[in-house]
Structure 1
Amino acid sequence: MELRQLEYFLMVSDLASFTRAAERLYVSQPAVTNAVRSLEEELGIQLLDRSQRKVTLTAEGKIFHRHIQNIMQGISTTLNEINDLKSHNRGHLVIGVTPLAGIASTSRLLAEFRAAYPNINICFAEHDVGQLLELLHADKLDFAFVFDLTEQERTRLNELPLPREELMVCCARRHALSRRNSITLAELTEESFILMESTCLFRQILVKHFEEADSMPPVCMEIAQVQLLKSLVAENAGISILPESLIEHDGNLSAVPLTPSIYLHPSVVYKTDKLLSHAAQAFEEMARKGAQS
């Protein structure tokens, strides 16, 4: 049984004529006649009554017509949905982000993708880098925005680097440090710091730099949300260190460069052995272009 036979049968049934069906299908009448006869022989039943001037359905033909019509409509709907996916008229992505997802490179890429593919829905899952990698390996995420991967993780994932982010001392506008042109980590030992939670990779990176400078300052608050951290710094409850792009557009905060400079290296990652959907292929292509620019 072929789809072509079913299509010809439905057209003959709807038009009550082999001739008109052939004209509508742009094929010869014998082609339609032979296809329907072959279908009847395969089923072992007569579907059409040809004894009258108009072709009509037999009792068996009416049952067959009803079910085949539903099947053909389902096939048409399925093909249309698949074509929508291929043409990016629909789709769904689950992307993992860290609390630092607001950095410029991440926001820019997501905004550009949204503008190019407005019908693709994106769901975000916010976790620290370690949890994101676990979810990625468990096929719970399509992509993840991470930073400073270990060499071991790099061998297990496809990584598309994004522009690096310089880390800055973040303080209130009225804080004395806001008047400095630059500052070293060693000069910050007497300052009260507001940092992310101890399990956060970004916090661990900062602690490592302080320890290397032998100048670990006191931590007065530990916070999970970057926005709350920034609000507290703006109220002069303490200072912090953040990527420059998270500070520069906030009129209540000042960004003071560190000497020597410290950088964060963000990237988009996805599994090497994962079959990418059409939506994921489009996102990967855009992220790759961003990595190469």
Structure 2
Amino acid sequence: MELQQMRYVLAVAETANFTRAAERCQVVQSALSHQIARLERELGARLFERTSRRVRLTPAGEAFLPAARQALDAAERARAEVAAASGELRGRLAIGAIPTVTAVDLPSALKGFHVRHPQVRITLRVGASDELAEQVRQGTLDIAFLGLPPSVRPKGVQGRALARGELVVVVAPGHPLADATGVDLHRLSQEVFVDFPAGTAARIQSDEAFAAAGVGREVAFEITNADLMARLVRLGLGIAMMPAAFVPELRDVRVVELSDPPTRVEHLVWSRLRPSPAAAAFMEALDAGGDRPPEGARAVRPPGH
């Protein structure tokens, strides 16, 4: 069994097409098909079901894929460790982030890291906190930036709190609350909301606040993209609650401060295993850069600071 065969299997699984997989791997399709067939003979099981219309994993293929990914990641990690020991940083840096991360200027941090370490392949995946934390646990991501209610702690990963901030309400410029101040949750319960999907950490922090106030609310639009949320708000279809430090990124909305605002804590998390050289270097760069949360977020110092 060879690492290249595993790369071919992974490419076919991700593209669901032998031709596109061969193009990705920069080999002719016949060579890729031959190597996968050779691997299947060695394993004694077919990894893919092939028809004229589709390619999909068999149960054996589904079982093989996670172990193949781990083997490829381990091989890449080994090469990166050797390069780091020789003074060269290379390999991959897979980062996850919530769409409203504010504790770090992530684009600038990525740019600076890329300039210093051009041999590192950087990827960024935006998603919900619980999904990102699970991907860190599985090793799909090296690190992730999460936003959680104060009562929730990341599980199964190492991490540290970066900043704590309050939520504010964003409304359309012509909304009756546009010029209001000190609005409470009882008043907001009369409004239609745009929010993140139910069950996500971003949604839970708001749901818990309304439950604690003894009132309910209507969430008519469940959105994962912050820019789309802001657009729906601008069109007057609903109001939204967002981190105060994030709303300066939005245009053409009015910000309403709450008298009893929910809060969230942003965390940086990484695997319980030793971070890769690239991940360790990136986290060191964040610390050395002295990143400060923007206005509306308050830095959270680790114990002893």
Deviations 1:231-283 (A, max 9, x none): 010111110101123322433111111112322100100122x2222211111
Letter in 1 for 2:111: R
- Mean alpha-carbon deviation: is it higher for 148-157 or for 169-178? 148-157
Instruction: Identify the match of residue 112 of structure 2 among 110, 115, 130.
Output: 115
1:105 is matched with which residue? 103
Letter in 2 for 1:112: A
**RMSD, aligned α-carbons:** 2.8
Residues 251-262 of structure 1 correspond to what in structure 2 (within 5 A)?
Answer: 251-262=251-262
2:276 is matched with which residue? 277
Distance 1:142 1:284 in 2: 11
Structure 2 length normalisation: TM-score? Answer: 0.61
1:44 is matched with which residue? none
Gaps of 5+ in 1: 1-77
Deviation, 1:161, is: 1.6
2:29 is matched with which residue? none
SS in 2 for 1:183: coil
Distance 2:149 2:263 in 1: 13
Cα gap change, 1:142 to 1:228, in 2 (>3 Å):
same
Distance 1:152 1:166 in 2: 16
Deviation, 1:213, is: 0.5
Distance 1:246 1:152 in 2: 21
Residues 173-252 of structure 1 correspond to what in structure 2 (within 5 A)?
Answer: 173-252=173-252
Q: Identity of aligned pairs, percent? A: 22
Deviations 1:87-132 (A, max 9, x none): 44x44211122233xx3223x1451342144223321223322222
SS in 1 for 2:163: coil
- Mean alpha-carbon deviation: is it higher for 234-243 or for 161-170? 161-170
Letter in 1 for 2:275: L
Distance 1:152 1:190 in 2: 28
- What is the number of equivalent residue pairs in this alignment? 210
Distance 1:152 1:104 in 2: 18
* Residues 149 and 263 in structure 2, CA contact (< 8 A), matched pair in contact too: no
Letter in 2 for 1:111: S
Distance 2:110 2:85 in 1: 17
Deviations 1:177-211 (A, max 9, x none): 11012211111121111111113221122111101
Cα gap change, 1:85 to 1:232, in 2 (>3 Å):
farther
1:7 is matched with which residue? none
Larger Rg: 1
* Structure with more of its chain in helix, by fraction: 1
Gaps of 5+ in 2: 1-78, 292-299
SS in 2 for 1:99: coil
SS in 1 for 2:248: coil
* Residues 149 and 204 in structure 2, CA contact (< 8 A), matched pair in contact too: no
SS in 1 for 2:103: helix
